[in-house]
Amino acid sequence: MERNKVLITGATGFVGSHALEAISADGKARVVAACRNRERLPNGWEGEARTGDIGDQAYVNSLFEDVHTVCNAFAWTSMYNHAKESQELFLEPSLRLIDCAISSGVKRLINISTTSAASPDASADAMSKGVPRGYWPHLCNVIAIEDYLREKANPEFTVINLRLGLFAGKRYALGLLPILLPRLQTHLVPWVAGGRTGMPIVDGRDIGQAVRRAVYADRLSGYQSFNIVGPSTPSVREVIDLLHEHGYPKPHFSVPFPIAFGFAWLMEAIDPIVPWEPLVTRSIIHLLREVDADNQRAKELLGYVPEHDWREAVDAQLAEMKERQDKPMSMARPKAGR
């Protein structure tokens, strides 16, 4: 096993591709990309790739030869419903991958999670246990993976759990902004609590930096969890004001969170009888709640200091969306995205 060989699963995705670039840039580690299609890796990257499907156990069994550290950025994502798909395409493959990594002798695993896993009043403490939300099956599975890794971590197998803020930037993936923007254009989405809550946006390049620092961080063992957000946290109102500068309408009225959750429940209830996805869901409202996450622990133990302002990240994502997204994004990734 090579002390400096790092495997990145999901290397063509948003988190994985930024992690691949960040770790490769300093030349300190041999980086291996695990992905379905090498041609979708970032331009100019010519390192080793192990191609296959995470759902194929034989492929997973072959992944970890001589690998010291794994960044598990593999994900199948859903913002609403799709409990069966999330379990079969995300939870079960992730648990099998973790077990195989451990049995293969991997010494460190970096797990990708979300600041939304914690309860709002405990979100500042990244070591706090996640709180499952029955209305969001995929978030429940993200938390189940965190819990599983807590049990598996030990002095010989270090887990670094990164609870990321809301993704933004180039090579964007499913997230709040691509879901929210077409809904704003309907003029039916209200402010929630006046838009005063924070929106912890983090640029993909800062995510890459956080993963790189997690790879090299010394004196860490057992289970360690960190919040990873941007240099500052804007309010929802500030973000929508910026979106308005790009031509998106602002909400015309405001409702408190209890009413917003109730309306979202109604939209979910009628979903089976209408031909379109819900205008709003409880998962979207959950993402708009206050998250008191900061980078202090990540700064102290990982040396993480974010560099990219949320405005820069949103502007870059909007520019890319104009080129790539000609219709509203589905609230779940297609099965081919494994």
Cα 38 → chain centroid: 22
DSSP 3-state percent helix, strand, coil across the chain (nearest 5): 45, 15, 40
pTM, rounded to two decimals: 0.95
CA dist 314 and 167 (Å) reads 9
Segment 33-42 long-range contacts (CB within 8 Å, at least 24 positions apart): 33/8, 34/7, 34/8, 34/9, 34/10, 34/63, 34/74, 35/9, 35/10, 35/11, 36/12, 36/338, 37/12, 40/12, 41/11, 41/12, 41/17, 42/17, 42/171
CA dist 287 and 198 (Å) reads 10
Provide the 10 A C-beta neighbour count for residue 30.
18
Q: How is residue 329 written in tokens? A: 């994004």
pLDDT, tens digit, 9 for 90 and up, residues 210-264: 999 999 999 899 999 999 999 999 999 999 999 999 999 999 999 999 999 999 9
Residue with tokens 């069966």: 84
The radius of gyration of the chain's CA atoms, rounded to the nearest angstrom, is: 19
Q: Phi-psi region for residue 84, left (φ > 0), alpha (ψ -120 to 50) or beta?
A: alpha
CA dist 20 and 212 (Å) reads 9
**pLDDT for position 337:** 40
The structural domains of the chain, ordered by start, are: 5-169+202-229+291-307+331-337 (3.40.50.720)
Q: How is residue 300 written in tokens? A: 């102290």
**pLDDT for position 27:** 86
Per-residue pLDDT of the chain (338 residues; tens, 9 = 90+): 666 899 999 999 999 999 999 999 988 999 999 999 999 898 878 889 999 999 999 999 999 999 999 999 998 999 989 999 999 999 999 999 999 999 999 999 999 999 999 988 889 999 999 999 999 999 999 999 999 999 999 999 999 999 999 999 998 877 888 888 989 999 999 999 999 999 999 999 999 999 999 999 998 999 999 999 999 999 999 999 999 999 999 999 999 999 999 999 999 999 999 888 899 999 999 999 988 999 999 999 999 999 999 999 999 999 998 888 777 778 887 654 43
